[in-house]
Chains A and B, each alone.
Chain A
Amino acid sequence: MRNILKEKPAKQVVHWSLLAVLVLYVLTGFGITAYRTVELVTFGLLGKALAFKIHDDLIIPFVVLMGLHIYQQTKQTAKE
C-alpha cells in the first residue's frame, strides 16, 4: 500500500519545515533571554513579548514535525 508520508516530496516538506521551526525556536528563545541584543539585530521586529508568543506557539508544530520526521525515517518492517 502506498504511504504518501514516506514519499520524497512529503519528506522534504517535513524536513524543511522542521528546520525552519527549529531555527525560529532558537531565535525566539534568544529573543526572550537576550532580548536587548535580538531586538537590536532584528531592527526592533522581534521584541520580547512577540518572541514569547511565537516561542510558546511553536511547541505543538515542533512536536508534530519531529514525530513525522522520526516516523519517515523508520524502516517499513511490516510486510505489505
Chain B
Amino acid sequence: MKNLIFSLHRFSPTKKVVLKTITFLSMVSMALVVGSGCGTGGTTRLQPAEINEYQGEKLSSINDFRENSIRGPQHVDLGTYKLKITGLVDNPAEYTYDDVINNHQSYEKVVKLDCVEGWSVVILWQGVLLKDLLAEAKVKPEAKVAIFKAWDGYTTSLPLDFIISNNILIAYKMNGVTLPPERGFPFELVAESKWGYKWEKWVTQIELSDDVNYQGYWEQRGYSNSADINGDFLEK
C-alpha cells in the first residue's frame, strides 16, 4: 500500500500532458458518437425483427429453410439489377427494384412452401401481384407460359392462367423483413400449391412464351413440369 501511494504521488503530469490527454479523449468520444449514428441529425432505420405469428397463425422462421439452390446464395447488385418482362408482350418492361416495390400495390399472403426434400415452411409473404406487372407489359393473346429466369442461371415456368387465377406474388419481404440474399433478394416467386422448385429466387426476367412444353432447370432433369403439390414431383 505504501508503495502504491508513493508511486501515485510520484506521478505528477504537467499541464501540457493533461491538456493533450483531455483533447485526445474528447476526439475519441466525438468519433464514437458520430460513428454510432447519434448526433448526425438523421435517423438510421434498422431492419425490424421478423414476425413469428400472423392473425393467429404460427409462422416458420426465415432460418428454417435449407439452402439447396443450384449455385449457392447469390448477392444481387441493386445498382445494375433490372427485372425484365420480355417475350410475347406488346410493351417490354424493365423495372428497378424501387420501381417494383414503390409503384405497385403491395399484397400480403401466408403461404406454405413444400420442398421435395421433405421439409416445409409457412411464411408471410409480401410482394406485388405478377398479374399487375404482366398487365403493364400487355401480354399478347398467344402467350401461354411465363418463363422465370434467375440471377444464378436457374429457370422455371408457370402457366399464365395459373398465375392470373391464383394471384401469384413476386415477393420482396418475408415475415415482415426484406428477403435476405440467401432467400432470394430482391425477388422470390411465391408459387403457392406448387413444389418448392417452382419458387424461383433472385428473379431477373419473366419471359412470356407460347411454348407449353418449356422445361426449366429441374424439369429438364426429371421433375414434373406441373409440380402440383398433390402429385408426384418426379415424372414417371
Residues of A in contact with B (beta carbons under 8 Å apart): 32-33, 35-36, 47-50, 52-53, 56
- Contact A48 to B234, CB < 8 A, known contacts A32-B117, A33-B117: no
Are A53 and B234 closer than 8 Å at their CB atoms? Answer: yes
Query: For B221, what are the chain A residues with a Cβ–Cβ distance below 8 Å?
Result: 47-49
Query: For B117, what are the chain A residues with a Cβ–Cβ distance below 8 Å?
Result: 32-33
Beta-carbon contacts of B223-236 to A below 8 Å, as 1s and 0s? 10000000000100
Q: Size band of the B side of the interface?
A: 10 to 19
Residues of B in contact with A (beta carbons under 8 Å apart): 66, 68, 70, 116-117, 218, 221-223, 234
Least distance between B164 CB and chain A CB atoms (Å): 30
Least distance between B235 CB and chain A CB atoms (Å): 9
- Additional A-B contacts beyond A33-B68, A48-B218, A49-B222 (17; CB < 8 A): A32-B117, A33-B66, A33-B117, A35-B68, A36-B70, A47-B221, A47-B222, A49-B218, A49-B221, A49-B223, A49-B234, A50-B222, A52-B116, A52-B234, A53-B222, A53-B234, A56-B234
Query: For B66, what are the chain A residues with a Cβ–Cβ distance below 8 Å?
Result: 33
Closest 3 CB pairs of A and B: A49-B222, A49-B221, A47-B221
Chain B interface mostly helix, strand, loop or mixed? loop
Query: For A47, what are the chain B residues with a Cβ–Cβ distance below 8 Å?
Result: 221-222
Query: For A36, what are the chain B residues with a Cβ–Cβ distance below 8 Å?
Result: 70
Contact sample, A vs B, 21 pairs, CB 8 Å cutoff: A32-B117, A33-B66, A33-B68, A33-B117, A35-B68, A36-B70, A47-B221, A47-B222, A48-B218, A48-B221, A49-B218, A49-B221, A49-B222, A49-B223, A49-B234, A50-B222, A52-B116, A52-B234, A53-B222, A53-B234, A56-B234
Query: For B116, what are the chain A residues with a Cβ–Cβ distance below 8 Å?
Result: 52
Least distance between A55 CB and chain B CB atoms (Å): 11
How far apart are the CA atoms of A53 and B234 in the complex, in Å? 8
Interface centre among A33, A49, A56 (most CB of B within 10 A): A49
Query: For A33, what are the chain B residues with a Cβ–Cβ distance below 8 Å?
Result: 66, 68, 117
Query: For B223, what are the chain A residues with a Cβ–Cβ distance below 8 Å?
Result: 49
How far apart are the CA atoms of A47 and B223 in the complex, in Å? 12
Query: For A56, what are the chain B residues with a Cβ–Cβ distance below 8 Å?
Result: 234
How far apart are the CA atoms of A19 and B45 in the complex, in Å? 58
Query: For B70, what are the chain A residues with a Cβ–Cβ distance below 8 Å?
Result: 36
Residue of A nearest to B66 (CB): A33
